[in-house]
Structure 1
């Protein structure tokens, strides 16, 4: 979006946010249910074997659903190594947790597991650039107090089982941060498939040492557990594409309530008054965290402890430790604290590194790339008046061939100039779509694609962008309808 255009509201921001929250809640039910059902087997069957059968079920269902297209995407994925590393971290986390589960009540094991939001909150700022505000920290700490009371950590007794549960918590926090860092780069189905494929291999290599312990009836039961767990994994992965890590971590406290309920219903673990009070604090912390983020999604007033100062001066962006570009910031914040400097930075990086790509040999001779930031240079007519597209590519005759728009918040108000820009470009693409590209903050890609397609706007690609810690810009293609050569990641920080 040109900074000269009016601020755009994110359509159905609150609704999209609540859908993401609902996804975490689904995982808060499914994943503890998976653990509770696993507890029935874990004392008699090796952990690696349970993970092998459970994960094979999830992987098989994912491959049956995605078929050859999914397998091809996994092979071509630019983040295969990161996904495999994350899967190994998760395998270690679940192994530690299930070993602890064999020695302690479900409620206590689940509670210790939920120390992870503290780890996530501490690391999400330096690692992801998603800095929790003071109010978010208050919600996190209230939830942690509930964990302390509910788990009996007040009279802390470090046993082997407790140490394993805490280790699983730290490992899970690391896995969640890794998931959030690459959530926009691969679909949830790809990530679920790769993770469970690694679990299958990790469990299979241990079979010669553990032997086979599952009877046919038990095998079927563990496979059903895989269906439950796979649903929870997919819901959590989808939520990670939409919510900052520290909010996901707080919302995961809800799994504690599910764990207590299942412990009572399935194993007769009766919670004490202290446990109940701790659980109430956990609920309060989750509600408060959702309320804070919901206000942002709904375009509410900006809190005084906002993520980024409104007074960001030119040149200060590169000094920031990381710039969170969550789609649930209200338009007012997106268009003030981030708009001018971030918008212009992103536009100039895209123009430099993608029009043309470094080393591109197919870039037509005579094509000229022009940006309309910081000075307006080339306008196009629209029903709403003259508009200055962010990136304009012309040929030697001055005819517009390609256009790129950087939208800080995509919405229906953009339709007049998106339509006009698309119609003005050529359709010299393999699929005859217009040479028109839209760039949005990571997490808004699906919204942008739906807006374009619902309004019959022809486009060559939708891309998501984030700002690296060093001030460079990372571009990740979301959908490419034109030349597949264009479907490549640009990340100068990784070069």
Structure 2
């Protein structure tokens, strides 16, 4: 039974990575034509409606879903995610999907590095070595000292740090709040921030791009739903390494749809980052089992 659940969880995680990679491609297309703030704002409107419906279904009422003993942390982590999305979409436009995804893949390493100070978890020397190796991989991708360093390369790295902190705060709030409550705060708070910023940058859209926006909104909801289902049927430690396939699908879209190129240093650096990340996930899983 456990093996069947693991297979189903892995299949759902793979589907989730495909959906999110397609979402990234659509986000890049729209953000190249329109203001990033407006694109993210509309995306968040639909996401908030989806979150409210899910939270109400799981908790019985919106009031119950919104009830939390740690509102400040919930608001902060939600604002962090919304800001990360702004930064990452800007990174897709400025840097391309291939290189942006390769750098962003470092976020599990940042999670491991910050899990001590944020959550009080113990990180063994093997994971610290893997974290160091992973960041060497990031340096290989960035190629500091070779030619002119692109300032745009810092965008996905900033996004990775923010998403790592957001992930850790998810685990922190989960100690006292249900998933439905955290999900509710994520969507509603993010929509408020996105609207407060994006409303100043409204631009008229063509009918065709409104269709792409609709696909973006639906894919966002679908991706979060499959991710929820993934963690319902399988352990997070079992399926998390497969989240790296988003790098594969996202890079493929960048190469074949947007005509990007895969530089050797990006491929080598990404391989180092992913290998180090998978190792830290495996070590963390073993540490939890021993605990």
TM-score w.r.t. the length of structure 1 is 0.50
Q: Tell me by how many angstroms 1:199 deviates.
A: 2.4
Q: Aligned residue pairs: how many? A: 286
Q: Distance in 1 between matches of 2:215 and 2:180?
A: 19
**Cα contact 1:74–1:80 (8 A) shared by 2:** no
1:180 Cα offset (Å): 1.7
Quote the residue 1:272 is aligned against.
263
2:185 is aligned, of 182, 194, 202, to 194
Structure 2 residues not aligned, in runs of 5+: none
Query: 2:28 matched to which residue of 1?
Result: 39
Cross-structure match for 1:258: 249
C-alpha distance in structure 1 between counterparts of 2:6 and 2:182, whole Å:
22
Q: Which residue of 1 aligns with 2:37?
A: 48
Match 1:133 to one of 124, 131, 137? 124
Would you say the 8 A contact 2:106–2:273 is kept in 1?
no
Q: 2:115 aligns with which of 110, 124, 133?
A: 124
User: Using the alignment, how far apart are the partners of 2:96 and 2:268 within structure 1?
Assistant: 18
Q: CA deviation at 1:289?
A: 4.6
The whole-number CA distance in structure 2 between the counterparts of 1:166 and 1:104 is 12
Q: For residue 61 of structure 1, what is the aligned residue in structure 2?
A: 50
Please state if 1:170 is matched with 2:179.
no
Offset of residue 41 of structure 1: 0.7
Gaps of 5+ in 1: 1-10, 297-306, 308-325, 335-495
Match of 2:194 in 1: 203
For 1:412-423, what aligned pairs fall within 5 Å after superposition? none
Larger Rg: 1
**Structure showing greater relative contact order (alpha-carbon pairs closer than 8 Å, 6 or more residues apart):** 2
Change (3 A) 1:208 1:270: closer
Specify whether residues 111 and 284 from structure 1 end up closer, same or farther in structure 2 by C-alpha distance, changes over 3 A only. Answer: closer
Pick from 57, 63, 83: which aligns with 2:74? 83
Root-mean-square deviation over aligned CA pairs:
3.5
Distance 1:123-1:20 versus aligned 2 partners, 3 A rule: farther
Cα distance, 1:125–1:218 mapped onto 2, change above 3 Å: same
What is the CA–CA distance in structure 2 between the aligned matches of 1:186 and 1:227, rounded to whole Å?
Answer: 27
Would you tell me which structure has more strand in proportion to its own residues?
Answer: 1
- 1:65 deviation in Å? 4.3
Q: Are the equivalent residues in 2 in contact too, given 1:143–1:253 (CA < 8 A)?
A: no
Separation (CA, whole Å) in 2 of partners of 1:104 and 1:256:
14
**For residues 159 and 288 of structure 1, do their structure 2 counterparts lie closer, same or farther at Cα, with a shift above 3 Å needed?**
closer
